[in-house]
Amino acid sequence: MANEGPVAPRIRLNQTQVNRVCDRHMAYLAGRSGGARMNLPFFDLSGIDFSRRNLTNANLSGAVLRGAIFISATLDYADLFGCDLREANLTDAQLIRTDLRAANLRGALLRGARMMECDLRDGARSAAGRTDFRVLGIEIGPADLSATVLSGADLTRARLSGSHAQGADFSGARMSSARLVHTDLRGANLAGADLEGADLSGSDLRGADLTNTRIDDAALASAIRSDADLARHADDDDDADEVAAAQTPFLARPDADTLAGLLDRHARWVGSGGKDGEQLDISGLDLGGQDLAGRVLTLIKAVGTILRGADLRGTQLQAANLAGADLRSADLRLADLRGAILDRANLIDANFGKANLSPLVTNRGSHIRTSLVRVRAAGAVLTDAVLTGADLTQADLTGADRQGADFTDAQMEGVRI
């Protein structure tokens, strides 16, 4: 969470200046000349009125938005990591798949907000790769929804694990299949909420109002309802930590020497056809900002890996499994991604200029198509990229630069452009 006192000078914009930025952002979303994506990280925008604005894919990470007005605004896929949104009014706003990790929403109004698949998790682990926050001295912790009003909001499949929501009002909210692992919901109002299929493992529900709440018995049994439950879960967590420590060979963010060794062993594995070295598995690790340009990463396993801002220019990624990976703002120009799996990956603002995403032809003549099912590629650069035969089912290409890109025989069902 951002510190209370000022940690660095903030650039303050007035309403007129912000309106101009919003207008340029609209032109950017429409693909018109003169458009520019809203990019105001760490700016002081407190009290600004964004009502009914379309801020899809805007970058407002770390911004001060205290008391700002977002009534009926659209913030889909926006980066609001670590934002100060205390007392902000987001009534009826749309925040589909918005990144709100570590945001401070204490006392904010989100009545009727549409927040499907919104990310409200604790941002502490992800902050390790955020050098911008470290330089400014901003400490990142759990998302804070204490005393926030979310009555009637749609939080279907939202991720709130590790967040603080003491006294929050979720009455009548739709929270089916939401992840609320270890979420602090003490004293929260969940009356009439739909929590079917939600994961409440280790969540603290002491004092919460569950009147007419739709909730699975198994999910409720996995939550903390009393002081005795709290003691029992504490013991279970200690045991789980010991097991995890024994089974985890690498840190969440490997040091330079460890990573170099992993990359060298993988290159030998590829070059020897699997007879020497070891296949690289970096699934779930944080490699944000790493220089991997020109590396041989063929057949790597990188499910859910953080590669935000990584340099992957000219990298060999044939048949790589990058499902669910975070590749925001990564540079993949001239990369070879034939046959790669990128399903549900976050490719917002990534650069795929002249990258090859066509099918991979094996030695036996089989064709393995590149899969980009449900990727988030708003604002991505696809200039002259080869996407022949690629599967882009339900992909979001809003505002992407597709000039010169080859989509011949690509599967485009449900694509958003």
- What pLDDT sits at residue 248? 36
pLDDT exceeds cutoff 70 at 137:
no
Q: Considering the chain, what is the average pLDDT of its residues?
A: 86
Tens-place pLDDT, residues 260-283? 889 999 989 988 888 888 899 888
Which residue in 144, 145, 123 sits closest to 134, CA to CA? 123
Domains of the chain: 255-417 (2.160.20.80)
- pTM for this prediction: 0.59
3-state secondary structure the chain: CCCCCCCCCCCECCHHHHHHHHHHHHHHHHCCCCCCCCECCCCECCCCECCCCECCCCECCCCECCCCECCCCECCCCECCCCECCCCECCCCECCCCECCCCECCCCECCCCECCCCECCCCCCHHHHCHHHHHCCCCCCCCECCCCECCCCECCCCECCCCECCCCECCCCECCCCECCCCECCCCECCCCEECCCECCCCECCCCECCCCEECHHHHHCCECCHHHHHHHHHHHHHHHHHHHHHCCCCCCCCHHHHHHHHHHHHHHHHCCCCCCCCCECCCCECCCCECCCCECCCCECCCCECCCCECCCCECCCCECCCCECCCCECCCCECCCCECCCCECCCCECCCCECCCEECCCCCEECCECCCCECCCCECCCCECCCCECCCCECCCCECCCCECCCCECCCCEC
Instruction: Report residue 14: phi and psi, to 5°.
Output: -90, 175
Please give the Cα distance from 242 to 321 (Å, whole number): 29
**Residue 131 vs residue 5, higher pLDDT:** 131
Residue 1 has pLDDT above 60, yes or no: no
Give the pLDDT confidence score for residue 167 in this predicted structure.
Answer: 93
Instruction: Classify burial at 240, counting beta carbons within 10 Å of its beta carbon; exposed 0-12, middle 13-18, buried 19 or more.
Output: exposed
Mean pLDDT of the 130-136 span: 51
Q: Answer whether residue 224 shows pLDDT above 70.
A: yes
Q: pLDDT: is 239 or 113 the higher one? A: 113
Span 8-51, pLDDT tens digits: 457 899 999 999 999 999 998 888 888 888 999 889 999 999 99
Which pLDDT belongs to residue 140?
63
Over its C-alpha atoms, the chain yields an Rg (Å, rounded) of 22
Name the percent of the chain lying above pLDDT 70.
Answer: 88
pLDDT at 240: 44
* Nearest residue to 141 (alpha-carbon basis) of 204, 186, 81: 81
The token pair that represents 259 in the structure block:
């990573």
76-117 pLDDT, tens per residue?
989 898 899 999 999 999 999 898 988 999 999 999 999 998
Q: What is the pLDDT of residue 138?
A: 55
Distance CA 275, CA 159 (A): 41
- Whether the per-residue pLDDT at 119 is higher than 60: the answer is yes
Identify the residue with better confidence: 376 or 362: 376
Q: How far apart are CA 256 and CA 289, in angstroms?
A: 12
pLDDT mean over 341-346: 91
pLDDT band at 286 (very low <50, low <70, confident <90, very high): confident
Q: How far apart are CA 19 and CA 17, in angstroms?
A: 5
pLDDT tens digits, one per residue of 157-207 = 999 988 999 999 999 999 999 999 899 999 999 999 999 999 999 899 999
pLDDT 10s digits, 147-160: 999 999 999 999 99
Percent of the chain with pLDDT over 90: 60
Between residues 140 and 114, which one has the greater pLDDT? 114
Structure token digits, residue 198:
């939600």
pLDDT at position 4 over 90: no
Mean pLDDT across the stretch 124-149? 65
Amino acid, single-letter form, for residue 220 = L
